[in-house]
Amino acid sequence: MLHNRVKELRARFGFSQGELGERVGVTRQTIGFIEKGDFSPSITLALKLAREFEVKVDELFWLEGDKSQ
């Protein structure tokens, strides 16, 4: 099971779903689906999101029960 902090960080940066989507090259629905946990994005998109929020991918996405690192 995959978890993420996209919604939290997006709020912190004051982006709308549409704005964030535009910045990383996807639609607002895609951002919405990711926040909802509906699917596991590609590593390419995950890297772009992490870059946008200036965090490491591992801080943005993690697997259930994976406290490693």
Partner DNA sequence: ACATAATGTATACTATACTTAACATAAAGT
Partner DNA sequence: ACTTTATGTTAAGTATAGTATACATTATGT
The footprint of DNA (CB under 7 A) covers 10, 16-19, 21, 25-30, 32-36, 38-42, 44-45
62 binds, among a second copy, DNA, none (CB under 5 to 8 A by kind): a second copy
Q: Return the SS3 of 62.
A: strand
Q: Compute the C-alpha angle 29/67/62, nearest 5°.
A: 15
**23 burial type by CB count under 10 A (0-12 exposed, 13-18 middle, 19+ buried):** middle
Residues 25-64 that bind a second copy (CB under 8 A): 40-48, 50-51, 54, 56-58, 61-63
CB of 64 to DNA, least distance (A): 15
